[in-house]
Structure 1
Amino acid sequence: MNLGVILLDLSLANLPNEAVVALRIAIIILVFFVISKLGRRLIDALLDPERITGGLSDRRVNTLRGLARSLLKYSIYFIGGVMILEELGVPTTSILAGAGILGLAVGFGAQNLVRDVITGFFILFEDQFAVGDYVTVSGVTGYVDEMGLRVTKIRSWTGEIHIIPNGKIEQVTNYARNGSGVLFEVTVAYEEDLDQVISVINDTCHKMAQEIPDPVIEEPRALGVVDLGDQGATIQIFGLVKPMEHWGYTRELRKRLKAEFERVGIEIPYPHRVIMKKQGGGESGDAF
């Protein structure tokens, strides 16, 4: 027998039983900590979007990576917990044999945990959303930052992380599929020729789509007059771009339309204030 093992056995024999149990529990925790670190590195290496080619998209690979991490974590928690209970003298074998793993979980009041895990599998199987998608779930809107077996983490555009149990997800709105709409309105003065205005809008939209073609799915165009308000005629514009590209595209298109309106002399109405003041017994007016 190895001399080191003999010496270790002798040293453990001289320790109190409680100290030996504590040492074994510490070793179990250390071993599973190392396994957790190595397992995460292995998962990251195997489920790397740059290494995987074929039918899986990057967002799908990232989702599977998050689920694999979650599965590894809970497996380590369960196995390590059982081993620690055994060191403490708890008869885990008889408990598991008598009730089964699922029965044990339900017996400890973990019905919600089981529901969260099952719902997580269905979300993945049905491809309702994936990591990187912009969604609304349980009243929270943001990007899917992480998806695990039990919880989904949503990051809002202001940076907050919302942690939602999968079992609470009953309705999902996914904005990252098919395309995102470029939809906004512009108002021009009643004195303007509306046919000319619509022509200028369509020309500007077409020119921008030619200069920035990558995100465009359906070229934006003027749909027509949608309102005759107090300040002028309102024209609605609609187009379709790649998912989540609509915010930046809309901002740029608005800026170009304003510049083009100014160039050709189309007035964008805005509130004016006229102040009347008396000067030497008479009245004069200044418009602001």
Structure 2
Amino acid sequence: MFGNEPWAPLVSSAITIVLILVLAFVLRNVAHRIITRVVNRAATGGSITSRFRKGAAPDGIDALLHERRKQRAETMGSVLKHVASIVVLGTAALTVLDRLTIPIAPLLTSVGILGVAVGFGAQELVKDFIAGMFMLLEDQYGVGDVIDTGAAVGTVEAVTLRITRLRDADGRVWYIRNGTITRVGNESQGWSRAYMDVPVAYDADVVGVKVLLEQVAEEMWADSELRESKIVEEPQVYGVEQLSDSSLVFRITTKTLPSAQSEVAREMRLRVKSALDTAGIQLVGSA
């Protein structure tokens, strides 16, 4: 095209380099768009709480679950975009250097040695990031969950690849590195359980007390406010749970939405106490 002009190889190399860079940026943008589309699809979904009860799920619970999915998907999307950019642009840079007849073997060797040095110096940071990635992928917990990490117990306020931020019952904020979390107890996944042990006198009417507690359970299940926002299953009365020389212990229990067990348990105690007082039955000791 340029004949035997002395500048022809330079022009040819320049055109090749430009094409390599343009192709690299095109591939990078395509990869980012694909990742964004996957992230958006993963961040949206149907009501998870609908699996626990028929009918519409509470808007607040669905909003929390949606935000949790969105945060997890966006975090993973950000990581994937960075990885895609490094791979595509790094490959393009090496190809350009090779086109310019610059030896890349010493560069690769230097980068490898530097990577090993950084890896040794940042072992804890790498450990935190890897643990954070698996935690997000496996959905071990998310924003709004009440969890027990061993070091602290509280409500998750923020989750990143490096740290998890908790706020405990006293309002204290805990920053926990993901790599140091060896086990997690999550009180907010799937469903929770609220229960109450009712100790009555040893000579109390067993059948009468059980019938009374079953009435309380039916009243709670018939309460539309509780069914729509907290309870996912009709309360059950197990009968005599424990037997001692001074009392009979009955147990009443129910499944609740995640993190609603404390509120349901408090309501259960109020209703049981009121029913026992009306029937003239006294509680004995504590259980």
TM-score by length of 2: 0.62
* Structure with the higher fraction of residues in strand conformation: 1
Mapped pair 1:155 → 2:146: no
Mapped pair 1:173 → 2:167: no
Distance 1:246 1:143, change over 3 A: same
Specify the alignment match of 2:233 in structure 1.
218
Mapped pair 1:193 → 2:205: yes
Q: Is the 8 A contact 1:96 1:104 kept in 2?
A: no
- Name structure 1 gaps, 5 residues minimum: 1-48, 73-93, 272-288
Q: Distance in 2 between matches of 1:95 and 1:171?
A: 42
Q: Is the 8 A contact 1:221 1:239 kept in 2?
A: yes
Deviation string, structure 1 residues 196-226 (Cα, Å, up to 9, x no partner): 1011101111101211212212222211112
Matches within 5 A, 1:227-238: 227-238=242-253
3-state SS, counterpart of residue 216 of structure 1 = coil
Q: Distance in 2 between matches of 1:110 and 1:147?
A: 21
Identical positions, percent = 31
Q: Distance in 2 between matches of 1:67 and 1:147?
A: 12
Q: Distance in 1 between matches of 2:148 and 2:131?
A: 17
Structure 1 residue 99: Cα displacement: 2.7
3-state SS, counterpart of residue 119 of structure 1 = helix
**Structure with the larger RCO, 1 or 2 (CA within 8 Å, 6+ apart):** 2
Mapped pair 1:248 → 2:263: yes
TM-score by length of 1: 0.61
Structure 1 residue 140: Cα displacement: 2.2
Matched residues, number: 200
Structure 1 residue 245: Cα displacement: 0.5
Mapped pair 1:262 → 2:263: no
Specify the alignment match of 1:15 in structure 2.
none
Q: Is the 8 A contact 2:202 2:245 kept in 1?
A: no
Structure 1 window deviating more from structure 2 (52-61 vs 214-223): it is: 52-61
3-state SS, counterpart of residue 213 of structure 1 = helix
Distance 1:95 1:188, change over 3 A: farther
Structure 1 residue 67: Cα displacement: 7.1
Q: Distance in 2 between matches of 1:64 and 1:228?
A: 51
Q: Distance in 2 between matches of 1:71 and 1:165?
A: 21
Specify the alignment match of 2:143 in structure 1.
131
Residue in structure 1 matching 2:196, options 184, 206, 210: 184
Distance 1:67 1:148, change over 3 A: farther
Q: Distance in 2 between matches of 1:95 and 1:160?
A: 49
- Name structure 2 gaps, 5 residues minimum: 1-39, 47-64, 82-105
3-state SS, counterpart of residue 142 of structure 2 = coil
Structure 1 residue 103: Cα displacement: 3.0
Over the residues paired in the alignment, what is the CA RMSD in angstroms? 3.0
Q: Is the 8 A contact 1:182 1:220 kept in 2?
A: no
Structure 1 residue 62: Cα displacement: 3.3
3-state SS, counterpart of residue 192 of structure 1 = coil
Larger radius of gyration between Structure 1 and Structure 2: 1
Structure 1 residue 60: Cα displacement: 1.9
Structure 1 residue 230: Cα displacement: 4.3
Ranges of 4+ aligned residues in structure 1 off by more than 6 Å = 66-72, 94-97
Residue in structure 2 matching 1:207, options 192, 202, 219: 219
* Structure with the higher fraction of residues in helix conformation: 2
Structure 1 residue 249: Cα displacement: 0.6
Q: Distance in 1 between matches of 2:214 and 2:70?
A: 40
Q: Distance in 1 between matches of 2:108 and 2:265?
A: 59
Deviation string, structure 1 residues 84-133 (Cα, Å, up to 9, x no partner): xxxxxxxxxx99971357435225x1111111111111111111111111
Opposite residue 45 of structure 2, the aligned amino acid is: G
Specify the alignment match of 2:129 in structure 1.
117
Deviation string, structure 1 residues 55-92 (Cα, Å, up to 9, x no partner): 572222234556789999xxxxxxxxxxxxxxxxxxxx
Q: Is the 8 A contact 2:231 2:256 kept in 1?
A: yes
Distance 1:65 1:142, change over 3 A: farther
Specify the alignment match of 2:66 in structure 1.
57
Opposite residue 203 of structure 2, the aligned amino acid is: E
Distance 1:53 1:119, change over 3 A: closer
Structure 1 residue 185: Cα displacement: 0.3
Distance 1:115 1:135, change over 3 A: same
